Structure 1
Amino acid sequence: MKRLFPAILACVTAIALVTGCSSSSEEGQPTPPPAPIAKEPVSKEPAQPPGPTGEKKYDKAPEMQIDKNKDYQATISTSMGDFTIDLYEKDAPITVNNFVFLAKDKFYDNLTFHRVLKDFMIQTGDPLGTGIGGPGYNFEDELNNGHKYEVGVVAMANAGANTNGSQFFIGSGKDVEGLEFSPNYTIFGKVTEGLDVVQKIAAVPVKPNSQGEKSAPEQPVTIKTITIIEK
């Protein structure tokens, strides 16, 4: 499972933020460094179990398909409204290529925001909805690409170095800035329209998940579809 963890008042209080897959198709969760008010996306889970019928799986990461000389955006339509992401195709081309491929192949359609931490982030991209699902492959990080963790940031969740897959998170509150103390999650975009929708999702009532963390939405919030815009 992939998660993000915040450190509160100089204490590393782990709050998992999940995304990305490990070498065994697992999803990782972010973990916070020992720094004041810091949070991180990290995921470390056991091997991913077989997915439900209809779950899409791939043998390997996609070949490069995007044109880095063009500008890419993504409109994510959810059960609570739409928001638009400016994708960083020049600064994180491998990650953006992966996201565009999965979105165009409808991989993300009907997936849930399985992990919600109001002042930190909302996480999605897991076909299992548990934090351990992924597309069946991993790909490398693209860190230190000139962007920072802030409200509206879009970044991959992972289970360690170079274990990105399909899970990603969106910064919904100031706590996401704590990831600057441990910048281990590839930033590949930022919300440019509809941030109010992101924060509306972040504010839904939550209950404990299977690990006991109070981050599972009481009522499912889903991605209807993702539309890629190429200019």
Structure 2
Amino acid sequence: MMTPTARRWLGALSAIYLLITTNTLQAQECDEGDDPSPVVTLATSEGDITLCLFHRKAPITVENFLKYVESGHYEGSIFHRVINGFMIQAGGFDERYEPLPSDSPIVNEAKKSKLHNVRGTIAMARTDDPDSATDQFFINHRNNLRLDWAPGKAGYAVFGKVKDKLSMSTVDFIATAPIKNRGGAFTDSPTKPVVINKVTWVNKP
């Protein structure tokens, strides 16, 4: 049987491992080398969120997201699901809470990429079907490693992260928005719509 001291040490070592893994992952993915990560800014009604996208680790998912960016699909969409201490979700509905038309679903890259759902990462939302993601995405408000791929578990595909502290402060602010239950898919919907007004591909080739 493990002693309390041993359990504390194990917990501390696990936290250190997660911190090292997360920092290494983020440092590797958001550099400005010969093949820089695509950078996209969401100009929301509550402030800007700048994202860098992991196009080398999740090429299908990033291409899909950028396709919606370029078409203007996300402009006028809302964060329709906001759960403080979990995530904020957007991309699929307009201000009237009507669904936006989406393209065909994409393959889930969570198993291939092995990217972690840590605080500040952006991932694809989907149904129970692992390969059902289309236009909806969410930004993790905390470390949500239970959403990762694991043997026997499809996971949710991470494809980027919030690029800077100012952007993360916008995510934090949105996460604390007062919410109401509008019924159906909108059980955790902000009382005042949080709108994505404009989306800019900052470093488009």
| Fold in common (TM above 0.5) | yes
Structure 2: distance between partners of 1:177 and 1:213: 24
More helix per residue: 2
Residues paired across the two proteins, number = 163
Higher deviation after alignment, 129-138 or 196-205 = 129-138
Q: Where does the alignment leave 5 or more consecutive residues of structure 1 unmatched? A: 1-67
**Alignment correspondent of 2:86:** 120
Cα RMSD, aligned residues only? 2.3
Q: Which has the larger radius of gyration?
A: 2
2:46 to 66, 73, 80: 80
**Alignment correspondent of 1:170:** 139
Once the two structures are TM-superposed, the CA of residue 93 in structure 1 deviates from its matched residue by: 0.6
User: Cα gap change, 1:212/1:98 in structure 2, threshold over 3 Å: closer, same or farther?
Assistant: closer
2:108 is paired with a residue of what secondary structure?
Answer: coil
User: Cα gap change, 1:142/1:212 in structure 2, threshold over 3 Å: closer, same or farther?
Assistant: closer
**Alignment correspondent of 1:211:** 184
Tell whether 2:161 aligns with 1:190.
yes
2:43 is paired with a residue of what secondary structure?
Answer: strand
Report the TM-score when normalising by structure 1: 0.64
1:127 is paired with a residue of what secondary structure?
Answer: strand
**Alignment correspondent of 1:147:** 115
Identity of aligned residues (%): 30
Once the two structures are TM-superposed, the CA of residue 155 in structure 1 deviates from its matched residue by: 0.2
User: Cα gap change, 1:110/1:133 in structure 2, threshold over 3 Å: closer, same or farther?
Assistant: closer
**Alignment correspondent of 1:33:** none
**Alignment correspondent of 1:11:** none
Q: 2:142 corresponds to which letter in structure 1?
A: G
Structure 1: distance between partners of 2:168 and 2:157: 20
Give yes or no for contact 1:118–1:173 (8 Å, CA) kept in 2.
Answer: no
Once the two structures are TM-superposed, the CA of residue 183 in structure 1 deviates from its matched residue by: 5.3
Could you list the runs of 4 or more consecutive aligned residues of structure 1 that deviate by over 2 angstroms after TM superposition?
68-71, 127-134, 180-183, 211-214
**Alignment correspondent of 1:29:** none
1:200 to 173, 188, 202: 173
User: Cα gap change, 1:123/1:134 in structure 2, threshold over 3 Å: closer, same or farther?
Assistant: farther
User: Cα gap change, 1:161/1:203 in structure 2, threshold over 3 Å: closer, same or farther?
Assistant: same
